[in-house]
A and B are shown apart, each in its own frame.
Chain A
Amino acid sequence: DIQLTQSPSFLSASVGDRVTIPCRASQGISRYLAWYQQKPGKAPKLLIYAASTLQSGVPSRFSGSGSGTEFTLTISSLQPEDFATYYCQQLNSYPRTFGQGTKVEIK
C-alpha cells in the first residue's frame, strides 16, 4: 500500500494568512493526488485533483502543487470558512489511501 504522510497534524493560523499543507507519498505517484476539505459532521469535499486541478466551484485561493512523492496544498489568504481538516488521497493505485489529515485551527 502507498502511505501518505501529512505533517503537521494540527496547524494554527489567522484569517488572511497564507497556509501550506504538505503531503508526502511513500513511493512515486506521478500527479495522481487529490485534496479534500472536511468540516465537523460533514462528508469530505473535493478541492483539487491531479495534484493541481481545481475542482469546479472551489475558490481560487486554493491551489495544489507537486509530483512524485512531495505535494502541497496552499491557501493563499485564509478565510473563516476554511478552518477545517484537510486530507490528501493518492489515486495512483489500489487500495486507495488517504493521509491522516491536517486540522487548520484558529490562532
Chain B
Amino acid sequence: QVQLQESGPGLVKPSETLSLTCTVSGGSVSSGSYYWSWIRQPPGKGLEWIGYIYYRGSTNYNPSLKSRVTISVDTSKNQFSLQLTSVTAADTAVYYCARDTGYGDPFDYWGQGTLLTVSS
C-alpha cells in the first residue's frame, strides 16, 4: 500500500520561502509510471494544483504560481519537495502531495495534508 506523508515547518513569515517534503513509502518515486504532485487548499476553499515532478526531474507548474515554485526529487530518500518563494498570507493553506500516472488519470493516492500558515 502506497503512503505519502507531508512534513514542513507549520509557520512561515511573509516574504520568506516555504519548504515542504513528501516522503513516499510502499512505492518508489523512481518508478517511471508515476508523476508526483503538490496540491493546496486554503482554509474553507477549494483545491489548487501546484505542479508535478517526474522521477527524471522534469516538472510542470501551474502558470499562476510558476514564477515562485520549484519542485525537486530526492530518489535516495524516496522524497519529493516543494519550495514556494516570497510567500504571503494568501499562501496559507493545507498542502497535499499526491500521485498520478499523468496520462489522463486521477490522483489515486494522497498524503493527509499539512497546514502551512504565513504570519509574522
Contacts and interface: CB of A to CB of B under 8 A. Distances in A.
A83 interface: no
Interface stretch (B16-24, B26-34, B100-108): B100-108
Contacts of B96: 43-44
A43 B113 contact: yes
Contacts of A36: 106-107
Interface residues of A, number: 24
B106 A43 contact: no
A54 B48 CA distance: 23
Contacts of B46: 87, 98-101
B106 A91 contact: yes
Contact of B49 (A43, A97, A99): A97
24 contacts: A1-B63, A34-B106, A42-B112, A43-B112, A44-B96, A44-B110, A45-B110, A46-B106, A46-B107, A89-B47, A89-B106, A91-B104, A91-B105, A95-B49, A95-B62, A95-B64, A96-B37, A97-B49, A98-B47, A98-B48, A98-B49, A100-B46, A101-B46, A101-B47
